């Protein structure tokens, strides 16, 4: 059984190691990670990295529109010049949100769970998820990026009568 690791657990700060062999145990772990991510509905879980379940291999799962994909040994090959500021959160840092500037387009290479080597160009939401998850594999949290970039932090404080999320700016 795997479970979610939350900040400030030091396991979120681990520098992960490349996966040498994609074996049935890893495939099972990836399946469990997708299952766990899907249990988060509000906010919706769109990605989960190994460090978030206390593991130290270079892999994560990410939601690609409707289905989840497994990403093993990812490497960012190139990043586009254009950036976008995302209102970003993380399952491991509950109720905290922040502004993070990331590349709008990236090219990334990785292996899928069958060991196929892929190189793909990503843009928008999926590019953003990949950058967030690859940060996790290097022990970096989105909150580090907010601090680096002197962005703003927000705390989720509840919902209003119409069910809209309410956020309050906070200083850390």
> Can residue 90 be called a binding residue for Zn ion (CB under 5 A)?
yes
Toward Zn ion, which CB reaches closer, 21 or 139? Answer: 139
- Are the CB atoms for 111 and 170 separated by under 8 Å? no
Q: Which is nearer to Zn ion, 41 or 161 (CB)?
A: 41
| 133 included as an active-site residue | yes
Q: Which of these ranges, 2-10, 88-96, 98-106, 145-153, lies near Zn ion under the rule CB under 5 A?
A: 88-96
**Cβ proximity to Zn ion, 116 vs 138, nearer residue:** 138
Interface with Zn ion by CB under 5 A: which range of 9-17, 70-78, 85-93, 111-119?
85-93
Integer Cα distance of 110 and 116 in angstroms: 8
Q: Which two tokens stand for residue 3?
A: 């479970």
Give the burial class of 65: count Cβ atoms within 10 A of its Cβ; 0-12 exposed, 13-18 middle, 19 or more buried: exposed
φ/ψ region of 160 (left if φ > 0, alpha if ψ in -120 to 50, else beta) reads: beta
Residue nearest to Zn ion (CB): 90
By CB under 5 A, tell whether 5 contacts Zn ion.
Answer: no
Q: CB 160 → Zn ion: shortest distance, Å?
A: 26
What are the percentages of helix, strand and coil residues in the chain, rounded to 5? 25, 40, 35
- Residues of this chain that interact with Zn ion (CB under 5 A) are 90
Residues catalogued as catalytic: 133
């Amino acid at each position: 059984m795997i479970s979610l690791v939350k900040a400030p657990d030091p396991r979120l700060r681990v520098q992960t190691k490349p996966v040498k062999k994609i074996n049935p145990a890893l495939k099972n772990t990836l399946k469990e990670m997708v299952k766990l991510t899907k249990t988060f509905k509000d906010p919706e879980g769109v990605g989960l990295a190994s460090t978030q379940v206390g593991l130290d291999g270079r892999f994560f799962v990410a939601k690609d529109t409707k289905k989840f994909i497994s990403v093993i040994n990812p490497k960012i090959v190139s990043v586009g010049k254009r950036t976008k500021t995302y209102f970003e959160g993380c399952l491991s840092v509950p109720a905290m949100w922040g502004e993070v500037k990331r590349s709008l387009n990236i090219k990334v290479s990785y292996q899928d769970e069958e060991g196929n080597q892929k190189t793909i160009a990503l843009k928008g939401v999926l590019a953003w998820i990949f950058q967030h998850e690859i940060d996790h594999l290097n022990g970096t949290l989105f909150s580090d990026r907010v601090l680096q970039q002197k962005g703003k932090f927000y705390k989720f404080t509840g919902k209003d009568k119409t069910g809209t999320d309410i956020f309050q700016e906070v200083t850390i």
